[in-house]
Structure 1
Amino acid sequence: MIKIKTYAFLTGLLALALTTLPAVAQQSQPQRLETITLNAGMHNIRAEVALTPEQRATGLMYRREMAAHEGMLFVFEQAAPQCFWMKNTLLPLSIAFLADDGTVVNIADMKPQTLDSHCSAKPVRYALEMNQGWFAKRGIQTGAKLSGAPFNAPR
Structure 2
Amino acid sequence: MDKTNKLPGFSILLMILLAATCFVIPAWALERDDIVIDGGEGQHHLSVEIARTPQERSFGLMERDHLPDNAGMLFVYPREQPPGTGFWMYRTRISLDIAFLAKDGEIRAIHTMPPCESERPSECPSYRAGVPFHVALEVNRGYFDARDIEVGDRLILP
Match of residue 53 from structure 1? 54
Q: Deviations over 1:92-147 (max 9, x none)?
A: 00000000111111000001126211111221110000000101110011111111
Gaps of 5+ in 2: 1-12, 118-123
Higher strand share: 2
Q: Deviations over 1:72-105 (max 9, x none)?
A: 0001110012310000000100000000111111
CA RMSD of aligned residues (A): 2.4
Residue aligned with 1:146, SS: strand
Say yes or no: does 1:80 pair with 2:77. Answer: no
The 1:29–1:35 alpha-carbon spacing in structure 2 relative to 1, beyond 3 Å, is: closer
Q: Deviations over 1:29-74 (max 9, x none)?
A: 8533111111013210111000000000000001111111100000
Equivalent residues of 1:30, 1:62 under 8 A apart: no
Gaps of 5+ in 1: 1-18, 150-155
Tell me the TM-score normalised to structure 1 length: 0.76
Code of the aligned partner of 1:49: I
**C-alpha separation in 2, matches of 1:49 and 1:22:** 24
Tell me the TM-score normalised to structure 2 length: 0.74
Task: Say which structure, 1 or 2, has more relative contact order (CA 8 Å, 6+ apart).
Answer: 2
Say yes or no: does 1:64 pair with 2:61. Answer: no
Q: State how many pairs are aligned.
A: 132
Residue aligned with 2:156, SS: coil
Code of the aligned partner of 1:39: V
Equivalent residues of 2:25, 2:56 under 8 A apart: no
Q: Deviations over 1:4-40 (max 9, x none)?
A: xxxxxxxxxxxxxxx7x979x9777853311111101
The 1:113–1:31 alpha-carbon spacing in structure 2 relative to 1, beyond 3 Å, is: farther
Say yes or no: does 1:112 pair with 2:115. Answer: yes
1:142 to 132, 137, 151: 151
Match of residue 8 from structure 1? none
Equivalent residues of 2:96, 2:114 under 8 A apart: yes
Equivalent residues of 1:97, 1:106 under 8 A apart: yes
Say yes or no: does 1:38 pair with 2:40. Answer: no
Higher helix share: 1
